[in-house]
Amino acid sequence: MNAALRAVVRASIKRGAEVIGFDHGYEGIINNEGRPLTSTSVGGIIDRGGTILRTARSKRFMTLEGRQLAVENLHANGCEGLVVIGGDGSLTGALKLHEEFDFPVTGVPGSIDNDIAGTDFSIGFDTAVNTAVEAIDRVRDTAYSHERVFVIEVMGRRNGFIALEAGIAGGAEAVIIPEEEHNMKLICESLREAFQKGKRSSIIIVAEGAGKAQEISDDIHAQTGFETRAVVLGHMQRGGSPTQADRVLALRLGAMAANRLLSGYRGEMAGVEGTKVVNHAISYVLSTEREIDRERLWLVSAMS
Ligand code: F6P
């Protein structure tokens, strides 16, 4: 998010605009927490996780009165456009400002969940996946040495993009995600088969929205008798220095969103498709479901 913020600020300044940053997201606009951002104020943040603007979930912004107040504050600060960096909720708010008040907005997809349509990747996903893979690799050392089954829970309330990607890269035996029914009997059967072939340790990845690592671990132990352990990675996936891929993505999308806004485009989100930066209407992005890649699911079962 910091890399994206830096890109928005510097691209806008390059185009002759002045930039105000609002702390605490929409809540901060309602509370009038704006401050001028210069090229220098976004220096030295490209490698920092989180956001220097901090963030908040704003209940007030969900009401029309709250949004009215926010728009009044934007006008009072001389803001002629707003770049919103965030996930589903942030983009929904941006669309409301666009549709209800005709306020010029563009969006930048920022979510470790990678569940935003109109872009192959959202900012944060690559870093989160790499963090999860590193954790899986470390856990595997104990799994192998102690001949155990580990169930590792990763983030993903509504989808399994992190689980699937980290599971493939981490060599997991099974990946349990909200998009796909799972059958514990079949999973236990395949663990037993693997054991018979000489495999003494296994790793199973579960997306938090598909089940609890501890319960799955207990279930596997009850059904197979194997020694099992559960690990929950939690918020460690949300922080840390961003990967090269995330930094470049953030710079490209942040700069594109600022450029499009300054060129008069409204209600769009910048995204990346293949190697190209593209722009889609936020209304399209929010009404489209990002599907899980079936080929990746097959890969997990084929490699286990
Ligand atoms: O939406 C991103 C996400 O990281 C989810 O995967 C996760 O469930 C959630 O945020 C955690 O939110 P909070 O920090 O509010 O508990």
pLDDT confidence of 256, banded at 50, 70, 90? very high
pLDDT confidence of 111, banded at 50, 70, 90? very high
Q: How far apart are CA 61 and CA 43, in angstroms?
A: 30
What was the pLDDT predicted at 167? 98
Q: Is 126 a catalytic residue?
A: no
Ligand 1: which atom is nearest the Cα of residue 111? 2
Residue 81 sits at φ, ψ, to 5 deg, of -170, 160
**Secondary structure letter of residue 110 according to DSSP:** B
What was the pLDDT predicted at 85? 98
CATH 3.40.50.460 domain range(s) in the chain: 128-239
CA of 155 relative to ligand 1 center, distance in Å:
7
Average pLDDT of span 87-91: 97
Contacts of residue 137, Cβ cutoff 8 Å, sequence gap at least 6: 170
Report CA dihedral (228, 234, 236, 237) to the nearest 10 degrees.
100
Average pLDDT of span 241-255: 98
- The predicted-structure confidence for 136-184, as pLDDT tens digits, reads as follows 999 999 999 999 999 999 999 999 999 999 999 999 999 999 999 999 9
Q: Which residue has its alpha carbon closest to ligand 1 atom 15?
A: 57
Q: Which of 36-45, 247-256, 271-280, 295-304 has the lowest mean pLDDT?
A: 295-304
* 2-124+242-287 topology per CATH: Rossmann fold (3.40.50)
Q: Where are the alpha helices (DSSP H) in the chain?
A: 2-14, 25-30, 64-76, 88-101, 125-146, 161-169, 184-196, 213-224, 244-262, 282-287, 294-303
What was the pLDDT predicted at 4? 98
Write out the two tokens for 112: 């470790």
pTM of the full predicted structure? 0.97
Is 153 near ligand 1, meaning CB less than 6 Å away?
A: no
Ligand 1: which atom is nearest the Cα of residue 115? 1
CA of 187 relative to ligand 1 center, distance in Å:
27
Q: Which residue has the tokens 């090269």?
A: 244
CATH 3.40.50.450 domain range(s) in the chain: 2-124+242-287
Average pLDDT, the chain: 97
Report CA dihedral (256, 259, 263, 267) to the nearest 10 degrees.
50
CA of 167 relative to ligand 1 center, distance in Å:
19
CATH fit for domain 128-239, picks 3.40.50.460, 3.40.50.1100, 3.30.750.24, 1.10.1060.10: 3.40.50.460
- The predicted-structure confidence for 187-231, as pLDDT tens digits, reads as follows 999 999 999 999 999 999 999 999 999 999 999 999 999 999 999
The residue from 88, 102, 113, 141 that is catalytic is 113
What was the pLDDT predicted at 304? 87
Is 110 near ligand 1, meaning CB less than 6 Å away?
A: no
